[in-house]
């Protein structure tokens, strides 16, 4: 079961061309949504203005070689290892979800564009199922346990806000994908496609685009630390600050 290409079984109902068109449409939605999100929130303008402001505060010039090294460090620590999370449980849940999502997306594209109606190497469907399962493990762990623990107001797991759209749509997509593969029911396939369409079609309103901005912000922060411009900024909130009345501001918990 887990070594069979679920999209080959679907070819009797939906043509391979229609599947490919759907995947391309989702890519266009993500690209367009990300660009609109950038324009709407003026993210690119913010990074440009912030970079110019930090340049004026810099105490030294960072060479091109140093920037390459910083970029590599950013990818290795902040992107691949999610180094911004100090809480090990939060980091592990994030890594499971992130790598599971990447594995699920990549294998979906390979299975649809390369192996519908063709003999499929058993490893590809297996990786597709593993990717979906990793998303479910990391996502449900975060939603039912970690997210509840960090809610300062003690909000229950069923309290949903717009910021939760991405994780809920992602969990629905992978959950219904697994159920469709296991039971072969058209009902679960319809839910799978509906959830995937919500996931990729609501980039402008969800936190999907956030994953593209985080590496840029992390790189900018490391460059600022290297050229000394960060030293000219006010003390960050993660360090205790002494107030005039002798009261220390406690460093907030980093979840």
Span 221-240, average pLDDT: 65
Distance (Å, whole) CA 15 – CA 38: 35
- pLDDT tens track for 234-249: 545 544 444 333 444 4
Query: Is 188 part of a structural domain of the chain?
Result: yes
Q: Which two tokens stand for residue 205?
A: 């309103």
Q: Which residue range is the domain that position 48 belongs to? A: 6-229
Distance (Å, whole) CA 149 – CA 185: 36
Query: Is 245 part of a structural domain of the chain?
Result: no
Query: Is 239 part of a structural domain of the chain?
Result: no
- pLDDT tens track for 127-147: 999 999 999 999 999 998 888
Residue 112: which of 179, 16, 4 has the closest Cα?
Answer: 16
- pLDDT tens track for 65-119: 888 888 888 888 877 887 777 788 889 999 999 999 999 999 999 999 999 988 9
Are 89 and 120 spatial neighbours (Cβ–Cβ below 8 Å)? Answer: no
Q: How many domains does the chain have?
A: 1
Distance (Å, whole) CA 50 – CA 220: 9
Query: Is 94 part of a structural domain of the chain?
Result: yes
Query: Is 167 part of a structural domain of the chain?
Result: yes
Distance (Å, whole) CA 165 – CA 84: 22
Query: Is 106 part of a structural domain of the chain?
Result: yes
Per DSSP (E only), the strands in the chain are 241-242, 248-249
Query: Is 92 part of a structural domain of the chain?
Result: yes
């Amino acid at each position: 079961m887990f070594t069979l290409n679920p999209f080959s079984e679907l070819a009797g109902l939906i043509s391979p061309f229609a599947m490919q068109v759907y995947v391309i449409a989702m890519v266009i939605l993500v690209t367009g949504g990300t660009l609109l999100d950038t324009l709407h929130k003026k993210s690119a303008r913010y990074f440009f203005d912030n970079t110019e402001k930090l340049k004026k505060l810099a105490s030294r010039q960072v060479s091109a070689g140093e920037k390459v090294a910083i970029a590599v460090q950013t990818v290795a620590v902040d992107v691949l290892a999610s180094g911004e999370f100090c809480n090990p449980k939060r980091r592990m849940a994030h890594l499971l979800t992130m790598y599971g999502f990447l594995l699920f997306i990549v294998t979906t594209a390979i299975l649809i564009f390369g192996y519908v109606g063709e003999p499929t190497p058993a490893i590809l469907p297996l990786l597709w199922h593993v990717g979906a399962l990793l998303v479910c493990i990391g996502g449900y762990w975060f939603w039912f346990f970690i997210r509840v623990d960090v809610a300062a107001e003690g909000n229950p797991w069923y309290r949903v806000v717009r910021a939760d759209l991405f994780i809920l749509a992602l969990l629905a997509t992978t959950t219904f994908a697994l159920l469709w593969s296991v039971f072969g029911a058209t009902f679960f396939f319809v839910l799978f496609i509906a959830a995937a369409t919500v996931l990729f079609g609501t980039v402008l309103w969800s936190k999907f685009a956030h994953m593209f901005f985080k590496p840029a912000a992390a790189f900018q922060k490391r460059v600022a630390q290297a050229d000394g411009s960060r030293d000219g900024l006010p003390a960050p909130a993660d360090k205790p600050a002494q107030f005039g009345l002798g009261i220390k501001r406690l460093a907030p918990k980093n979840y």
